[in-house]
């Protein structure tokens, strides 16, 4: 096991999959000469050349569609969005083209491609650069959506996404790229749609994904000091959703907190809450509590931004409420 | 059509009054063009009828009046080339060689349709003939066409992709993003504007800041030309040049085909009235692409009245057969509802050597 960064884990996944399959190429803004806006594609241009590591103009709708077209005729594109905020300009291609082509064509054209890039807020980037898009994307039949929280999962999920014959959205985290973690030396895959119990406990379940996994783990550390132990269910994939993992945990702990980075209204947490009330109605000792970003655009001012985010103190408070401790 | 210049509208008709007699090749070509256009016409006349009695539902956009563009374009493509288009796609599907049966069954929403009844009028697809779909979002398929061009270049092939769209799409960002990338990367894409003068009820002059819209390619230093889209031979000639350039130099072209739709925008739109006058329509009806080819053929001695009648009878029978087939084809079973949302496969073997399927 090597200890590497989340960034390097993604880089390894790209390199290995490009070596393994000549149909795989990487396309996006600054992925080549600049080596990636966040250096995820470092060294790939040098290794694979300009045809397979393609710098694009700032033309999100255009190059997302180029990926769809290339996928329709047999290539396996990896389309990098500098951040998912900019992917909004490309949503027509993601939603109307990539997600629907298989269905509209009666099964003739599947779209084996990956859309990837950082999702959610970093620090003080303001309203337009600080948004979490998973509920938008996961809403769409035909798309798969994953959000790795650790280097191990980042590498394994990206590899699985590239091999999948459907369009997969990989939501990375700007604040995660420098994080380090253990990654096996040999080849491995993290299957799509399989959650991971990142921590075992008895008193409550926190369901989360992506960068909030770290928040949940930190909250669980704190709560442990008061003797409260937590199951942290890291979904890893939002769609397909590992319903079994959520149900099993909540049936054991009888209390459920859903922690997500994005907004409250119609967030992924609402979907999970629906599942829990349906499947675990008789198991629940308290209502499901959701921890989300404040229902407002992200502010710039430090204090306001902190107040807006779904952070560790809010998560701890939610667990304590679920346990009727406060 | 040199780069940065305008193509003359003239069709390659014989210059001398006493032209040589038509060769067998010319006769065969003429007949195949006529057959293709007339099939589309007869097919869509029945579509209108089927729509009126509820066999076809939803949005249905007829192509009548524009057949020279599809036929002239697709008569030039090789079987391994690609083509992609808008929701106004029945005629183009037929011109590409999809069977009338599979297109009619799709229109009727039946399992034997070319998309299993899941696509409908606006979403014809056929992998076998490289027909990459009818697409419903104006401009949305232009980036996809560009991606197909990219894939052709990536694999080192000499195929081309023809991308057809209405003139209204040139005002949309996807058009500009696509032309820029295709020109920048030198991709074998032929962008074909079917300028039928109206995007629904909005005349081109009311939507585009320039009226010679093929000149938009000048922003991208791209080969371009304007073509009489009612003259199938002129369309063929322009496409020939563009296809050759795409195959040999892998560079893109923008062609503006000036055409006209003889029907309303869709089945709910009157043929004339609010946005165009009956007088204007009548003027354009004089340039019916089928009548123009027919007149040319008669002049060249490649068509007699009797052959025309026989062809018409045969095509009407083919369309009737398509209707009967569609009517007899079952509706998709309810299990089909949740099929084709995802495939359950992955690429387990990879393809390190780049052996293209
Ligand atoms: C992005 C988008 N906006 C609006 C529409 C609704 N709409 C469908 S067809 C059409 C007119 C398009 O005209 P044109 O591109 O010239 O093609 P034509 O219908 O004449 O073949 C409009 C506005 C749409 N389908 N997509």
For A143-193, the pLDDT digits (tens) are: 999 999 999 999 999 999 999 999 999 999 999 999 999 999 999 999 999
For strand B161-166 and strand B131-135, is the pairing parallel, antiparallel, or unpaired?
unpaired
**Positive or negative CA dihedral for B285, B287, B293, B295?**
positive
Q: What is the pLDDT of residues B119-150, one digit of tens each?
A: 999 999 999 999 999 999 999 999 999 999 99
* Residue A34 clears pLDDT 50, i.e. is over it: yes
Kindly report the average pLDDT of chain B as a whole number. Answer: 94
Reported as a pLDDT band with limits 50, 70 and 90, residue B356 is low
Greatest CA span in chain A, whole angstroms?
A: 59
- The domains of chain A are located at 2-183, 196-322
Q: Examine the residue annotation and report whether A129 is marked as an active-site residue of this protein.
A: yes
Kindly report the average pLDDT of chain A as a whole number. Answer: 98
Residue B188 CB contacts under 8 Å (≥ 6 apart), including other chains: B149, B152, B153, B158, B159, B160, B161, B246, B247, B250, B251, B252
What fold characterizes domain A196-322? Rossmann fold (3.40.50)
Residue B238 Cα to ligand 1 midpoint, Å, equals 25
CA distance A142 to B231: 42
* Residue B4 clears pLDDT 80, i.e. is over it: no
Any CB–CB contact under 8 A between A155 and chain B?
no
Q: What is the mean pLDDT of residues A113-123?
A: 97
Residue B198 Cα to ligand 1 midpoint, Å, equals 9
Q: What is the pLDDT of residues B143-194, one digit of tens each?
A: 999 999 999 999 999 999 999 999 999 999 999 999 999 999 999 999 999 9
CA distance A190 to A10: 13
Count CA within 13 A, CB hemisphere, residue A302: 0
Q: Examine the residue annotation and report whether A279 is marked as an active-site residue of this protein.
A: no
Q: Helix, strand, or coil here: A66?
A: helix
Please enumerate, as own/partner, the contacts of A284-289 that have beta carbons within 8 Å and a separation of 24 or more. A284/A250, A284/A254, A284/A255, A284/A256, A285/A254, A285/A255, A286/A254, A286/A255, A286/A321, A286/A322, A286/A323, A286/A324, A287/A322, A288/A256, A288/A257, A288/A258, A289/A256, A289/A257, A289/A258, A289/A318, A289/A321, A289/A322
pLDDT on residue B3: 58
Q: What is the pLDDT of residues A228-259, one digit of tens each?
A: 999 999 999 999 999 999 999 999 999 999 99
Quickly list H helices, chain B.
24-52, 67-74, 90-96, 100-107, 141-155, 173-184, 232-249, 278-285, 289-300, 305-328
pLDDT on residue B352: 79
ipTM: 0.96
CA distance B115 to A169: 26
CATH number attached to the domain at B24-327: 3.40.50.970
Contact B127 A112 (CB under 8 A): no
CA distance A289 to B57: 46
Evaluate: CB of B100 within 6 angstroms of ligand 1: no
Evaluate: CB of B137 within 6 angstroms of ligand 1: yes
Burial class of residue B25, CB neighbours in 10 A (0-12, 13-18, 19+): exposed
Contact B188, B208 (CB under 8 A): no
The protein residue with its alpha carbon nearest to ligand 1, atom 14, reads B166
Which residue does chain B place closest to A98, by CA atoms? B144
DSSP code for B117: T
Q: What's the full length of chain A, in residues?
A: 326
Tell me the CATH number of domain A2-183, given options 3.40.50.970, 3.40.140.10, 3.90.1150.10, 1.10.510.10: 3.40.50.970
- The domains of chain B are located at 24-327
In chain B, what residues touch A167 (CB-CB under 8 Å)?
A: none
Tokens at B261, concatenated? 């739709």
Reported as a pLDDT band with limits 50, 70 and 90, residue B13 is low
What interhelical angle do B24-52 and B289-300 show, nearest 10?
150
Strand order in the sheet with A256-263: A196-199, A230-234, A204-208, A256-263, A289-293
Q: Helix, strand, or coil here: A189?
A: coil
* Residue A306 clears pLDDT 90, i.e. is over it: yes
């Amino acid at each position: 096991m090597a200890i590497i960064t989340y960034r390097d884990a993604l880089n390894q996944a790209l390199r290995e999959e490009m070596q393994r399959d000549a149909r795989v190429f990487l396309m996006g803004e600054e992925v080549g000469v600049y080596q990636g806006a966040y250096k995820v594609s470092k060294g790939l241009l040098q290794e694979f050349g300009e045809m397979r590591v393609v710098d694009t103009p700032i033309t999100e709708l255009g190059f997302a569609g180029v990926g769809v077209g290339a996928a329709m005729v047999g290539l396996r594109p990896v389309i990098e969005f500098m951040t998912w905020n900019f992917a909004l300009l490309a949503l027509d291609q993601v939603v109307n083209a990539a997600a629907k082509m298989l269905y509209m064509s009666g099964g003739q054209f599947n779209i084996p491609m990956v859309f990837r890039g950082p999702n959610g807020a970093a620090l003080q980037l303001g309203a337009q650069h600080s948004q979490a898009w998973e509920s938008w994307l996961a809403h769409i039949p035909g798309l798969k959506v994953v959000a790795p929280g650790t280097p191990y999962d980042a590498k394994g999920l990206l590899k699985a996404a590239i091999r999948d014959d459907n369009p997969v959205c990989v939501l990375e985290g700007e604040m995660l790229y420098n994080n380090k973690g253990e990654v096996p030396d040999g080849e491995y895959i993290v299957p799509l749609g399989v959650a991971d119990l990142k921590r075992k406990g008895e008193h409550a379940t926190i369901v989360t994904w992506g960068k909030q996994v770290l928040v949940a783990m930190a909250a669980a550390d704190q709560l442990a000091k008061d003797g409260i132990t937590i199951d942290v269910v890291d979904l890893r994939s939002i769609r397909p959703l590992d319903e079994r993992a959520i149900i099993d945990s909540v049936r054991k702990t009888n209390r459920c907190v859903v922690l997500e980075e994005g907004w409250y209204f119609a967030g992924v947490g609402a979907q999970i809450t629906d599942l829990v009330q349906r499947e675990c109605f008789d198991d629940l000792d308290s209502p499901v509590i959701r921890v989300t970003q404040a229902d407002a655009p992200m502010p710039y001012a430090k204090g306001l931004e902190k107040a807006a985010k779904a952070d560790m103190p809010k998560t701890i408070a939610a667990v304590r409420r679920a346990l009727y401790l406060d | 059509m040199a780069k940065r210049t305008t193509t003359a509208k003239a069709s390659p008709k014989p210059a001398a009054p006493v032209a040589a007699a038509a060769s067998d090749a010319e006769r065969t070509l003429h007949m195949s063009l006529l057959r293709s256009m007339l099939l589309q016409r007869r097919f869509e006349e029945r579509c209108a009828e089927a729509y009126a009695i509820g066999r076809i539902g939803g949005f249905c956009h007829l192509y009548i009046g524009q057949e020279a563009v599809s036929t002239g374009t697709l008569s030039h493509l090789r079987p391994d080339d690609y083509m992609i288009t808008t929701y106004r796609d029945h005629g183009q599907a037929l011109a590409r060689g999809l069977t009338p049966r599979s297109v009619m069954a799709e229109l009727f929403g039946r399992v034997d349709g070319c998309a299993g009844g899941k696509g409908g009028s606006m979403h014809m697809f056929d992998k076998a003939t490289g027909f990459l779909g009818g697409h419903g979002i104006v401009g949305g398929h232009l980036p996809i066409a560009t991606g197909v061009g990219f894939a052709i270049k990536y694999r080192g092939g000499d195929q081309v992709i023809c991308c057809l769209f209405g003139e209204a799409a040139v005002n949309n960002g996807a058009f500009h993003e696509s032309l820029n990338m295709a020109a920048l990367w030198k991709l074998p894409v032929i962008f074909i504007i079917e300028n039928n003068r109206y995007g629904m009820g909005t005349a081109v002059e009311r939507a585009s800041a320039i009226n010679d819209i093929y000149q938009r390619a000048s922003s991208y230093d791209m080969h371009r030309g304007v073509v009489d889209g009612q003259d199938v031979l002129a369309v063929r000639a322009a496409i020939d040049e563009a296809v050759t350039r795409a195959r040999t130099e892998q560079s893109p072209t923008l062609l503006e085909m000036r055409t006209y739709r003889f029907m309303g925008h869709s089945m709910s739109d009157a043929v004339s009235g609010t946005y165009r006058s009956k007088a204007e329509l009548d003027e354009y009806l004089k340039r019916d692409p089928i009548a123009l080819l027919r007149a040319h053929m008669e002049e060249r001695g490649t068509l007699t009245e009797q052959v025309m009648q026989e062809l018409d009878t045969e095509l009407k029978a083919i369309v009737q057969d398509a209707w009967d087939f569609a009517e007899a084809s079952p509706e998709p079973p309810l299990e089909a509802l949740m099929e084709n949302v995802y495939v359950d496969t992955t690429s387990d073997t990879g393809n390190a050597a780049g052996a293209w399927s």
